[in-house]
Structure 1
Amino acid sequence: MKRRRFLHRIGLILAVLGVTEAEWLTLGNRYYQALAQPSPRKLALLIGINQYPQIPALSGCLTDVELQRELLIHRFGFQGSDILTLTEEEASREFIEAAFSDHLSKQAKPGDVVVFQFSGYGSRVKLETSPDTMQNALVPANRSKDSQDEKIVNYILEETLLLLLRSLPTDRVTAILDTSYYAPSTVLGLKSRALQESVEAKLAADELDWLKQLKTQNLPSTPVVLAATSNPKQSAREGLFSGFSAGLFTYALTQYLWEFTPATTIQVALSHVENSLSKLGSKQQPALLSNQKNQHITSILPAPDLENLSPNLSPKRGEALSSTPSLVGKGSGGLGFPDDVKSQLVPESIIGAEGAVTAIEEDGKTVHLWLAGLPPQVLLYYGVNSRFTLATTEQLVLRSRTGLTAKAQISRIEGATPLQVGQLVQEAVRVLPRNINLTIALDTRLERIERVDATSAFAAFSHVSTVVAGEKPADYLFAKLQQTPSHYGLFSLGGELIPNTTGEVGEAVKLTVQRLAPKLSTLLAAKLWRLTQNEGSSRLGVKATLEIISDISPRVVMQRETIRTFKTETSIKKSVQTRLISSVPTPIMPMGSRMQYRVENQSDRPVYLILLGLNNNHTAIAFYSWEPPQEANTADTKPLLKEVVIAPGETLTLPQTNAASAWVISGPAFFCEQQLILSTAPFSGTLAALNTAKYSTAEQEPIGPLLNSLDVAQALLQDLHNASALKTEMNGTAADSYILDVNNWTSFSFNFQVM
């Protein structure tokens, strides 16, 4: 597109935004003043499109823009006036490119920070110059160039966008693309952000001209481009949460950046994001876009590149698993990916938060909060009387919540600094209801009588409720198997069939549901122990490392560590260094590997430990610490379990590294999710529940099946509740809620795959 057409288009876009061209030009004065400040200028262009003409609407793209905007303002110090948002019909191809030129290209200077976000449909389109090649493209709001010729599409090629990003005069450029390009033949569960375009579609000539022009320019920048998927065939999904919809990738990414001390490497962030996505029911794997031929990287190597941290780690304890590429993931070897890709964003505060104060009411006692830093699976159940702390040590008591926003009452301390908008809030007390159900969504493609029968059958389970898919948040989906009529099964929200949940072909709905009873209890148990996750907010000093035991020395697979227990910036940086050497997206372990956890108690109190988990067939497992038999020859004696306790400053490996108690990964291949939970009080109820199951002496393996998973999960929450010293102070809350104090528990999530 020629420059004079850009000037015309920018006039149109400013009219839409309510800004005159003269006002637009005078904004530069404020921008130049910002450049005089010690910190660099920070610019952002955020795009979200839900409503498209003549195609199904999306639901979460506007929320993505809001999630990103609030993060940039409150966590990374962006000025609201430096963030330009284009939503719905404003986000036409011409407006997007004009805004990119005038808001980013003209204003960015060397050293400035630039963020670009696109949330909407992606697609594939042929080029006239290369009719045999399909190209990835972003779908703007005005997807059709000419209403008279629907074959001409007004898309923005991914290649065009990458060249635009490279054209910016700063190296501190980050782009987030919450979209995908290959539309699945059938979409089961969560909405997909990929549009199937006609094979006859042709790209508008303006776009090709613009691409040709960009290719002639000197492009000095090397942007960091984060994509929602790493595999071209994967779909970027969006989910329905508590009162809002959002892109899974954007929500998981922004939540991580709120809560954790941002890692120096993008890879560390993506490792945590992928972990979150799996809990939200999606197997999509986020990735960086390679600068070479715009191909996605299918595996991301960790980058130990903090100051004073050598990238050449010796093969001993603490060695990065990436030194053995075959263990990291598919396609990890020989990618040529640089080891020093760093985050372009620098937080205003190195300490993370669960949200921020967005408004203060006139009475000075009621505040409005933005809570996008809470884990998504926790937010839905975050109860009244939960508490947050401020830097001033004051506490806020939650009074109501709608979606990501909440109202809280100030528990004012005499002489405290007056509260201000923008202050970060950190979790202090988590209140969860006791009556949490497993929610099953009924696929809308079921016949009416099938939905009626399924609703009736699920109602027979006291801990299960049903909703219509797409109307309310859910945990799993009950649907037909696409290839076989009258064949039903249970699916993840991402559309993957849960193993061992299908009925017989031609079997009645009610019979299939009745078969699900044991599986439903296990899935609810996993939901309950996931609600304990608090790596970001815990103030109990603990570090846990998952290791492969080798003949030389253990190799680090993953590492989790609480950060808010550290008081100095130096100690926080040192902790981040430790995490960098071991964070990889869903590491892959070969069958036959000997594994162990190494858990370090960095607190001043003894801590007690429980380990629970799911294999990929959604079978529950647990770590068992068996009591040695009192009499050597009493094979009939019922085995008993003992507490696992770690003294202050001590480190424990589990299972103990001897042949009798070794944890060896056996086949078949599976995906494993494990929750490591630590508390300052004994897990008396949990052990009692574990001991009620009928174990034989032959089953005394360190990691084994969990037979009564729901009883154990409920006892676990009760034990964590009992460890809280606050329950007596919160009258009326304890009877129907669990009250969990962040000073008294830590819960880490570990995911890996066995191949």
Structure 2
Amino acid sequence: MGLNRRTFLQKAGWGLAALGVSETVLSLLGDKSLAVPLLERYFQVLAQPGGRKLALLVGINEYPRTTALAGCVTDVELQRELLIHRFGFQANDIVTLTNSQATRETIETTFIEHLTKQAEAGDVVVFHFSGYGSQVQMPQQDETVASAVRWQNSFVPVDGILPTKGEPAANDFLAETLALLLRSLKTDQVTTVLDTSHTQAVNILKGSLKVRSSSRQPALAPNPDELAFREQLVQRLKASSKPWKSLDKSMQMPGLVLTAAGSSQPATEAQWNGFSAGLFTYALTQHLWQATAATSVQISVSCATGMINQFAGNDQQPQLTGQKSQNSLLAYYLSPNPPLGADGVVRGIEENGKVAQLWLAGLPAPVLEHYSPNSVLELLDGESLILPPSPPENSSATDNPAQPVPKSVQLQLRSKDGLTAKARILSGNGGEKVQPQVGQLVRERIRVLPRNLGLTVALDTHLERIERVDATSAFASIPSVSSVVVAGEQATDYVFGRGKKQATETSEPKFKGGYGLFSLARNPIPNSLGEEAEAVKSAVNRLNPKFKTLLAMKWLRLTANEGSSRLGMRASLEMIAPETKTIIQRETWRTSVGFATNKTKKNASNTSPSVGSATMPKLPIGSRVQYRVENYSDRPLYFMVLGLESSGGAIAFYQQLPSPEGLESEQNPPLISGAIKPGETLILPQPSASFNWMIPGPVGVAEIQLICSPSPFKGAIAALEAAMRPKGEGERVGDLFNPLEVTRAILQDLHQASNITPDKLGIGSDVYALDVNAWATLSFNYQVVS
């Protein structure tokens, strides 16, 4: 069947836009150092598998005889929607097994029938498991595994415990069985995603997160039926044309294997308003919704790790193993289509075509949780991705707008329930009414957030009843805290409890020491723990300044939009001593092609949106760093840099005017609203600056936010002027003593820069309305090490 002109242009535009192959890039062909890597990635996209795409997704919440999980079935839905709408899987080629369906025998039989018997060479296969993990003691003499493994990781099916007269017997799905099943596939292009863990969990609830490790004692022997099935797989493989090789101790699986946590770490799931999900599955799939065609699987896992660290700290570090050359491999061995990313999809049309049902799993979970009615999204039309004609070299950006004018249809949010929403269909640019189609992708345009946002604090379940009563009463007088809940029952931001865990002979841990704040994974918030004799009410009042700082950081995280911003910028965190290397690189993905002028884009480097391994980047105490910020938009970009050091204190980057020559003043010179011109790169601090940006202790996690806008941050600069800050002139990094006031001023500046009148959206004065054309926030999370 032939292609009409519209379809051809869409596909051609998507293909070229995937890697920015515009006239600008093609003009670089004379410079092989720039052109060749880009075109190699482009041709990798063109040569991606054209065969069948098969998936088996398993998620189990409802385990009998043990504490139920809540997010595993959601994980399956997250993967299914992603594979269909971003990677082109057919719905009937995806089999899901959830809850009572996911018995050991059914999982193994379905794997053979759906994957082994159907997948051919060159096909793409995905296997996903979300549920409890455990361990099983294996027979001492086992010829299948080289140097027999005493304890083997296992996946707990819904019938993982067999009722017996004596000690319950395990009926687990062994890691070795999975490895053998994966070997039985005819294709090498297989991705395995395991959102589970195998360390025994004394308590399923860890702070306010649920751990996906079974709390039962590891089984002393596997089910004989499982061993018999495993032997059948071994004999089939030996009889096949594939060369047989015993499994090694690592149980190395073919293809790419993505695991939610390290071998001795817990995998966890979190609860947000309206839904629960595995931290890893949500972070991974959310990033892949927004990913571009040039995004490798390593970058995807690295970006997912950044989100997980905000919830679980260093306790959960995803792992990527398998095939070599991970730096160039695409997730699922496929390029997402279209290549510029999306934030959701239309799942249905109702009310006679006036309302669209949306799936919004492309938004970061914290943002989605607070996404308010009247937020606006636009339908993604393939024609809007086609690159505009290149402007003449001597023309200005105003004469030749870099951004094409798409035939956009906007959708205004009316209500939201977890991951789904209903939106009113607005008219297109020309005023015509356009009917969305089921399966059509949507992208964020205007983010509406409530101004009255506060922190939700959970009370640790180990607190005594009288302690919880006193804490609830004390929190009523803390303006930054909007609600107090019991840990594990509702979505929360932080946990309030006692500090030190005391080892006991029983399975139930006891906590002693002073009161303090903890992350959702129950890691202490730096400098929040008090003395053991401190009263509950005194502790809550003592923490009032800490709550302001943490609320400010919550606000800053809600501005994160590197996946949806339309401002063309890139920034990197670089170590310059004791060695020189790039630690983290971030970029606004939707402006990497099509929205920058030729002149400015030529000055931007051709690199991926992120660099580094799949684990959290590390910086040693005392190392010197700098930020390199590139502006490849067609407008000047003003910037703010602020965040949290590993000590838990808020800091800000200042630029101050020099004092008049010959005059001394006890007051600080006024601050500058720093800006980067179009096509230019700015280093912070500048090499000529009188100070060095040093990484202080202690060991811990630091988080820095870089916020840019075409409009000056007048309110934020005024708020900074009102705060105590280091004396002197030039550039400085200093303590931020009023982080909440500065953060609110930043939000107000962005709200004003968006210039959205209330009557336009029907919004009130109790919200911020932020246009994705008006700002970009890039996050830099790293671990400070000794």
Which position in structure 2 is the counterpart of 1:555?
A: 581
Separation (CA, whole Å) in 1 of partners of 2:276 and 2:202: 23
Percent of residue pairs bearing the same amino acid type: 50
Taking a change above 3 Å as real, the CA distance of residues 631 and 183 of structure 1, as seen in their structure-2 partners, is: farther
Q: Which runs of 5+ in 2 are unaligned?
A: 1-47, 142-147, 244-252, 382-406, 503-510
Q: Deviations over 1:278-323 (max 9, x none)?
A: 22344311112458xxxxxxxxx99554xxxxxxxxxxxxxxxxxx
Which position in structure 2 is the counterpart of 1:544?
A: 571
Contact 1:639 1:696 in 2 (8 A): no
Q: Is the partner of 2:690 in helix, strand or coil?
A: helix
Q: Deviations over 1:598-645 (max 9, x none)?
A: 111111111100011112232111111122112355152323311101
Q: Which of 133, 137, 150 in structure 1 is aligned with 2:150? A: 133
Separation (CA, whole Å) in 2 of partners of 1:568 and 1:697: 44
Q: Identify the range of structure 1 (430-439 vs 261-270) with the bigger mean alpha-carbon deviation.
A: 261-270
Q: Is the partner of 2:105 in helix, strand or coil?
A: helix
Separation (CA, whole Å) in 2 of partners of 1:289 and 1:145: 33
Amino acid at match of 1:163: L
Q: Is the partner of 2:541 in helix, strand or coil?
A: helix
Q: Deviations over 1:223-257 (max 9, x none)?
A: 11100012x22110011112111111111111001
Q: Which of 659, 662, 668 in structure 1 is aligned with 2:692? A: 662
Does the alignment pair 1:377 with 2:371? no
Contact 2:291 2:336 in 1 (8 A): no
Does the alignment pair 1:278 with 2:314? no
Taking a change above 3 Å as real, the CA distance of residues 522 and 583 of structure 1, as seen in their structure-2 partners, is: same
Separation (CA, whole Å) in 1 of partners of 2:317 and 2:178: 21
Taking a change above 3 Å as real, the CA distance of residues 599 and 199 of structure 1, as seen in their structure-2 partners, is: closer
Q: Which of 437, 445, 450 in structure 1 is aligned with 2:454? A: 437
Contact 1:151 1:201 in 2 (8 A): no
Taking a change above 3 Å as real, the CA distance of residues 441 and 637 of structure 1, as seen in their structure-2 partners, is: same
Cα distance, 1:112 vs. partner?
1.1
Q: Which of 734, 744, 750 in structure 2 is aligned with 1:720? A: 750
Separation (CA, whole Å) in 2 of partners of 1:118 and 1:98: 15
Q: Deviations over 1:262-291 (max 9, x none)?
A: 554321111100101122344311112458
Cα distance, 1:194 vs. partner?
0.3
Which position in structure 1 is the counterpart of 2:10?
A: none
Cα distance, 1:167 vs. partner?
1.6
User: 1:557-636 residue pairs with structure 2 within 5 A?
Assistant: 557-567=583-593, 577-579=607-609, 581-582=611-612, 585-632=615-662, 634=664, 636=666
Which position in structure 1 is the counterpart of 2:740?
A: 710
Does the alignment pair 1:405 with 2:394? no
Taking a change above 3 Å as real, the CA distance of residues 699 and 57 of structure 1, as seen in their structure-2 partners, is: farther
Separation (CA, whole Å) in 1 of partners of 2:695 and 2:219: 50
Does the alignment pair 1:156 with 2:188? no
Does the alignment pair 1:394 with 2:409? yes
Q: Which of 212, 223, 229 in structure 2 is aligned with 1:210? A: 229
Cα distance, 1:165 vs. partner?
1.4
Which position in structure 2 is the counterpart of 1:225?
A: 257
Which position in structure 1 is the counterpart of 2:345?
A: 356
Which position in structure 1 is the counterpart of 2:784?
A: 754
Separation (CA, whole Å) in 1 of partners of 2:138 and 2:772: 56
Q: Which of 722, 735, 739 in structure 1 is aligned with 2:769? A: 739
Does the alignment pair 1:172 with 2:204? no
Separation (CA, whole Å) in 2 of partners of 1:185 and 1:640: 56
Cα distance, 1:115 vs. partner?
0.9
Instruction: Return the TM-score normalized by structure 2.
Output: 0.81
Q: Is the partner of 1:522 in helix, strand or coil?
A: helix
Contact 1:563 1:575 in 2 (8 A): no
Contact 1:358 1:421 in 2 (8 A): yes
Which position in structure 2 is the counterpart of 1:310?
A: none
Separation (CA, whole Å) in 1 of partners of 2:313 and 2:692: 32
Taking a change above 3 Å as real, the CA distance of residues 659 and 601 of structure 1, as seen in their structure-2 partners, is: closer
Taking a change above 3 Å as real, the CA distance of residues 229 and 199 of structure 1, as seen in their structure-2 partners, is: closer
Contact 1:237 1:282 in 2 (8 A): no
Separation (CA, whole Å) in 2 of partners of 1:38 and 1:621: 48
Contact 1:302 1:581 in 2 (8 A): no
Amino acid at match of 1:425: V
Contact 1:596 1:655 in 2 (8 A): yes
Contact 2:170 2:219 in 1 (8 A): no
Taking a change above 3 Å as real, the CA distance of residues 510 and 611 of structure 1, as seen in their structure-2 partners, is: same
Taking a change above 3 Å as real, the CA distance of residues 436 and 357 of structure 1, as seen in their structure-2 partners, is: same
User: 1:5-84 residue pairs with structure 2 within 5 A?
Assistant: 39-84=50-95
Contact 2:139 2:150 in 1 (8 A): no
User: 1:291-306 residue pairs with structure 2 within 5 A?
Assistant: 304-305=327-328
Q: Identify the range of structure 1 (277-286 vs 176-185) with the bigger mean alpha-carbon deviation.
A: 277-286
Separation (CA, whole Å) in 2 of partners of 1:394 and 1:84: 33
Q: Deviations over 1:395-422 (max 9, x none)?
A: 1111110100000011123556632100
Separation (CA, whole Å) in 2 of partners of 1:616 and 1:185: 29
Q: Is the partner of 2:110 in helix, strand or coil?
A: helix
Amino acid at match of 2:588: T
Q: Identify the range of structure 1 (485-494 vs 188-197) with the bigger mean alpha-carbon deviation.
A: 485-494
Amino acid at match of 2:744: Q
Contact 2:446 2:772 in 1 (8 A): yes
Which position in structure 1 is the counterpart of 2:524?
A: 497
Separation (CA, whole Å) in 2 of partners of 1:696 and 1:663: 14
Instruction: Return the TM-score normalized by structure 1.
Output: 0.85
Amino acid at match of 1:679: S
Separation (CA, whole Å) in 2 of partners of 1:63 and 1:605: 42
Taking a change above 3 Å as real, the CA distance of residues 696 and 597 of structure 1, as seen in their structure-2 partners, is: closer
User: 1:289-328 residue pairs with structure 2 within 5 A?
Assistant: 289-290=321-322, 304-305=327-328
Taking a change above 3 Å as real, the CA distance of residues 575 and 185 of structure 1, as seen in their structure-2 partners, is: farther
Which position in structure 1 is the counterpart of 2:445?
A: 428
Which position in structure 2 is the counterpart of 1:532?
A: 559
Separation (CA, whole Å) in 2 of partners of 1:585 and 1:262: 22
Which position in structure 2 is the counterpart of 1:475?
A: 493
Q: Which of 685, 703, 712 in structure 2 is aligned with 1:673? A: 703
Q: Is the partner of 1:202 in helix, strand or coil?
A: coil
Separation (CA, whole Å) in 2 of partners of 1:431 and 1:161: 45
Contact 2:207 2:519 in 1 (8 A): no
Contact 2:72 2:130 in 1 (8 A): yes
Separation (CA, whole Å) in 2 of partners of 1:342 and 1:176: 11
Separation (CA, whole Å) in 1 of partners of 2:129 and 2:200: 18
Q: Which of 176, 194, 208 in structure 1 is aligned with 2:213? A: 194
Q: Which of 270, 273, 280 in structure 2 is aligned with 1:239? A: 270
Which position in structure 2 is the counterpart of 1:331?
A: none
Taking a change above 3 Å as real, the CA distance of residues 192 and 38 of structure 1, as seen in their structure-2 partners, is: closer
Separation (CA, whole Å) in 2 of partners of 1:726 and 1:513: 39
Q: Is the partner of 1:203 in helix, strand or coil?
A: coil
Contact 1:440 1:467 in 2 (8 A): yes
Taking a change above 3 Å as real, the CA distance of residues 685 and 123 of structure 1, as seen in their structure-2 partners, is: same
Which position in structure 2 is the counterpart of 1:113?
A: 124
Taking a change above 3 Å as real, the CA distance of residues 580 and 472 of structure 1, as seen in their structure-2 partners, is: closer
Which position in structure 2 is the counterpart of 1:446?
A: 463
Separation (CA, whole Å) in 2 of partners of 1:595 and 1:343: 35
Q: Deviations over 1:61-86 (max 9, x none)?
A: 11111111111111111111111111
Taking a change above 3 Å as real, the CA distance of residues 402 and 580 of structure 1, as seen in their structure-2 partners, is: closer
